[in-house]
Structure 1
Amino acid sequence: MAEKRDRVLKAVMAALENDYAGMPEKALLNDTKQWLTAFGEAWKAGRLDDALFVSYLTQYLATFQDPNLALLVSDVCPCQPWSCGFSVRRFGDELYVTEVREDERFTVGDALVLLNRSIPDKHLDYAIGNPVNGDDPDRQLWDDLVSRCAHVLVRHADGTEEDVAVRRFRRSQVAPMGLPGALPDGAIVERGDAVVVDLRRVPRVLDDASCDRVLAALLPERLSIADLMGDEAVFTNYTADNCAIRRSQLETLRKGASACERAWVDEEIERIGSLEGAGMVREVERDDRVAGGANAGRPVVLLTDVTTSAAGERIVQVARAAAEQGLVEVHVVGRATSGAIDYANPLAVSFDEFYTFVYPMSKSEAAARGEGVSGRGVEPDVAVPFTPDECREDRVRKRALDLVCG
């Protein structure tokens, strides 16, 4: 078992070094030496079971601050991914409960004062890299770290404090290359004076119908997105391993494809074969989608947060391009997004019956120039920092409505 884990770890590190689209710009975050030491010390101490292995590897990937990286665990693995049953956000030195799912001992608005008898920042002092998505409190993601704690000190709304043992609940896994999903209910609110589009919970991949709905609400006339965005360059890493994985994906896709789709798949397989081993190749893409036409001159307000996925970030890009051309008035309100849009074209490689590693093979031209948004997100026009008041009301939506209502 130890040899298997060692093989998986080295394979993940090799893929990040050679095949991941985020290199070389993410190289400074890739502290392989310290992580190898941490894994080695845990193994020597007899502590490196499946649970700790998954925990360490998940933390290692988190330090890259790229939502496109993921370790997926199969149903037969002895260690399944878990959550603490609630979500938190940071304000000052404390973490505030913003959502309760399974663990109803907690209430929205509760403050986590201590994690395992230490303030939250102390856990970062001895961490390798930054496992909570960076230093900006508004973009930090603490749920995974909280789920690894044994207990937390909670301060309730009435001022009382309670030491609570952390429970663990089975967590569903969402792969970066997941199937297209629909907009959440109520994401688009069309008022007489404005259109408000909530992009804070948009799926990683947005289905065509939802995308058309957003663009129709956004744009005053039907037009090609390519006319707004122009030619868009991406850099794709055609290493031998990436080409082999991509070819396998396409061959699987071909089995259930129509005759027309099979022709495209065959062309794509041939194209990848011609580029195998070429490394980073610059390619030009055009978004030929035609959409829009329902917005009769109303300003559009887009609500964003660190939870805004690449699909939501793309909508912000299109909206700002339309605004630059004088087609619509756009305001982005909230917080910086996830920063996922820099990288695309995810590949999934399974090392054994337990673990699958997902990473992207393409990057945007901005990312290639070192000017991407990974690790910092797409900034809003009007920033609304998180405060505990948001546990009682949606301050981002309130600020957006105040903006358009004067």
Structure 2
Amino acid sequence: MYLKIFEDVISILHNDYAGCLDKKGCDNPNFYREKIQDSGNMNDEKFVGIVQDYLLDFKDLHMAFKYTAQSTEMEDDVGFAVRRYDDLLYVVSNEKEDRVKKGYAITALDGSTVPELVNIHKRRLMETEAERENWSAILPQYKSADVVSGSGNSFTIELKKYPKEIFQPEYSIKEISEDTLFLTLTDFMNHNAISKLIDENRSFLTTRKNLIIDVRVNRGGSDLAYFDLLPFLFEGEGEEIDLNGFDEGSMLTNCTSRNVELRTQLLKSALSSIEDEVTRNQINAFIRQLEENKDNGFVELDFGEVDDSFLIKTKPGPEQVILLTDVYCGSSGDSFVELCKNSSKVTVIGRPTLGLNDYSNLAIMSWENKFKLSYPTSKLSTVDEGKGMSGVGIQPDIYIPWTPDHIDVDLDVKKALEFI
């Protein structure tokens, strides 16, 4: 079973993946194939680890191989999260592990110092800046951590494994002063919920002077989910803005049979939960274009029939809009920030976004109701021009480097309030 699934994964990455031409020859499947063949006691956990390691050859954070939600074996974590600053890993949250607190510093894992760990895991970290590194998949690989408390006491803990909690999205608006609203959007997955939030707070959006939008954590979703917000974020009233006019390049979709089938399944599934008629028309147009171009290779899909739906008419809104961004904002989060930067009312404060959209529009292939591979099916033509966002992200207008001071004080919000 394991070898057959791995051969499927190789075929997808060599033929269906949006980067199959750009990254041809970057991988070494024989090395991992032999690992699977030579293992006398292969199990699901080991297999997932091997495939995940293989995917690192492609250096694409938009790809993932995981257990499905239906699988009884789920991913574990250590109960806390860290962020690197210089040669230490600082605890930034501790939802389940009470032996460490926010602000504590980890100096070593299993006796290896943080600089040593960076070198060991450089393939997985895939970043050149400490503040952009993601250590969540690395911590569970170790048994112990050397810790320094806030008061300077040093101790060692044996790392425990906790079930990874299901992410709970937040879509909220609150007043933080008479003139200022604070909008939090942790993803763009639930189109109806976000549209409802905007509609219910329309009077606030049209009468408050300032709006701060927090997308520092934004797990992406659908670009269509934020369209109802955009009219309030651009200058003027009743002005027509063509969103297509902001595109620097074209989107090329790899229309293989597998991609058309998998993407169509996803889009039809999304239709069942979307009420907005304009959005439904856009999705149906996407499905028709995929089906018409099946087996045609890389194609720039023609959305001429729904071009009008990419025209927004501006509405009265805040005079100043601040976007708070960080590396935990990616995919549709990248797109949102990139699009909003075209408005003269918008200022982006924080750190660059993750930068996932060189290759996007994910398809999901599942096996045995246990494993799933998510991979991009479209690529931006700007990649071929050397203008990709991978490893770079969307840059803020005002950069605030991450430091341990952020753990106790929200320096990004502080800067936003000073700015307005």
Taking structure 2 as the reference length, what is the TM-score of the superposition? 0.78
Alignment CA distance shift 1:385-1:227 (3 Å): closer
Cα deviation, residue 305, structure 1: 0.3
- Is the Cα contact below 8 Å between 2:246 and 2:339 reproduced in 1? no
Q: In the alignment, which residue of structure 2 is the partner of 1:304?
A: 325
Alignment CA distance shift 1:47-1:31 (3 Å): farther
Q: Which of the residues 158, 162, 167 maps onto 1:165?
A: 158
1:390 paired with 2:406, answer yes
- Is the Cα contact below 8 Å between 1:200 and 1:307 reproduced in 2? yes
Q: Which of the residues 147, 155, 159 maps onto 2:148?
A: 155
Alignment CA distance shift 1:322-1:255 (3 Å): closer
What percent identity do the matched residue pairs reach?
24
Q: 1:18-46 CA distances to partner (integer Å, 9 max, x unpaired)?
A: 11113344457x4325xx43563476354
Q: Which moved more, 1:247-256 or 1:191-200?
A: 247-256
| Distance in 1, Cα, partners of 2:189 & 2:55 | 18
Aligned to 2:416, the other structure's residue is in SS state helix
Which structure 1 segments of 5+ residues have no match?
none
| Distance in 1, Cα, partners of 2:44 & 2:414 | 45
Aligned to 1:322, the other structure's residue is in SS state coil
| Distance in 2, Cα, partners of 1:78 & 1:262 | 34
Q: In the alignment, which residue of structure 1 is the partner of 2:377?
A: 361
1:119 paired with 2:137, answer no
Q: 1:324-365 CA distances to partner (integer Å, 9 max, x unpaired)?
A: xxxx3x321111101123333221111222111111211223
Q: 1:203-222 CA distances to partner (integer Å, 9 max, x unpaired)?
A: 41268676534641454424
Cα deviation, residue 381, structure 1: 1.8
Q: In the alignment, which residue of structure 1 is the partner of 2:27?
A: 31
Q: In the alignment, which residue of structure 2 is the partner of 1:221?
A: 237
1:99 paired with 2:106, answer no
Q: Which moved more, 1:16-25 or 1:105-114?
A: 16-25
1:244 paired with 2:261, answer yes
1:235 paired with 2:252, answer yes
Q: In the alignment, which residue of structure 2 is the partner of 1:295?
A: 317
- Taking the TM superposition and a 5 Å limit, the aligned residue runs for 1:338-349 are 338-349=354-365
| Distance in 2, Cα, partners of 1:201 & 1:98 | 14
How many residues of Structure 1 are paired with residues of Structure 2 in the alignment?
A: 388
Aligned to 2:73, the other structure's residue is in SS state coil
- Is the Cα contact below 8 Å between 1:89 and 1:141 reproduced in 2? yes
1:131 paired with 2:153, answer no
Matched AA of 1:6: L
Alignment CA distance shift 1:155-1:31 (3 Å): farther
Q: 1:90-148 CA distances to partner (integer Å, 9 max, x unpaired)?
A: 10111111111111221100111101110233234344x62124221121101110122
Matched AA of 2:48: V
Matched AA of 1:372: G
Q: In the alignment, which residue of structure 2 is the partner of 1:275?
A: 293
- Is the Cα contact below 8 Å between 2:188 and 2:218 reproduced in 1? no
Alignment CA distance shift 1:172-1:292 (3 Å): farther
- Is the Cα contact below 8 Å between 2:3 and 2:37 reproduced in 1? no
Cα deviation, residue 309, structure 1: 2.5
Q: Which of the residues 106, 110, 118 maps onto 2:104?
A: 110
Taking structure 1 as the reference length, what is the TM-score of the superposition? 0.81
Alignment CA distance shift 1:140-1:103 (3 Å): same
Matched AA of 2:105: A
Matched AA of 2:385: R
Q: Which moved more, 1:390-399 or 1:92-101?
A: 390-399
| Distance in 1, Cα, partners of 2:192 & 2:66 | 20
Aligned to 2:242, the other structure's residue is in SS state helix
Aligned to 2:372, the other structure's residue is in SS state strand
1:44 paired with 2:38, answer yes
Aligned to 1:340, the other structure's residue is in SS state coil
Aligned to 2:46, the other structure's residue is in SS state helix
- Is the Cα contact below 8 Å between 2:289 and 2:301 reproduced in 1? no
Cα deviation, residue 77, structure 1: 3.8
| Distance in 1, Cα, partners of 2:347 & 2:166 | 33
Q: In the alignment, which residue of structure 1 is the partner of 2:2?
A: 5
